Structure 1
């Protein structure tokens, strides 16, 4: 589902929502990485995933990649030449579809509210 709201870089509430979302994801991911690394079995499912992008601006794609990279357990690796796919590494992608869906419905949707 595509968000129809027009991006507005001056929308302070949208930026605040993005900041709160990032802080929430930061805490949850950090906790997940801590539990994963301290687990005696170290059950991880690392994967490189392709996230299709609805963002089109360099600023929007860069912000999304930065948010993903700053979140523990994930790293943005590459943006395709046509800027339609962001490749990421996830330390624990037991369900790759869920990881991609989470990024699209969380970070990407929030970024699209402030940047095209």
Structure 2
């Protein structure tokens, strides 16, 4: 579930995605390029989901944490984990703003 303090955000994101028809394949999967928070499947496509959570924007927003370098590492991690470069893979992010008691989610499909 990742870091204890952010585990609630991953669980909130997972529940949100499951309600929208996604299927969980794996959580917190490590690769040589980094960790995949959630590996999901939707309509035959593997979906790598990065969950970013911030209580406030004091140190930047969750979106600002998704740098081009981070997105590239996610793509490399997906290819490494799936073992093939030719499988359809989509990168998405669930941005979580707030705390466990009061939060909102934003869901993005990342362009690669």
Same fold (TM over 0.5): no
Which of structures 1 and 2 has the bigger CA Rg?
Answer: 1
* Higher share in helix: 1
* Higher share in strand: 2
> TM-score, structure 2 length as denominator?
0.28
> TM-score, structure 1 length as denominator?
0.27
Larger RCO of the pair (alpha carbons < 8 Å, separation 6+):
1
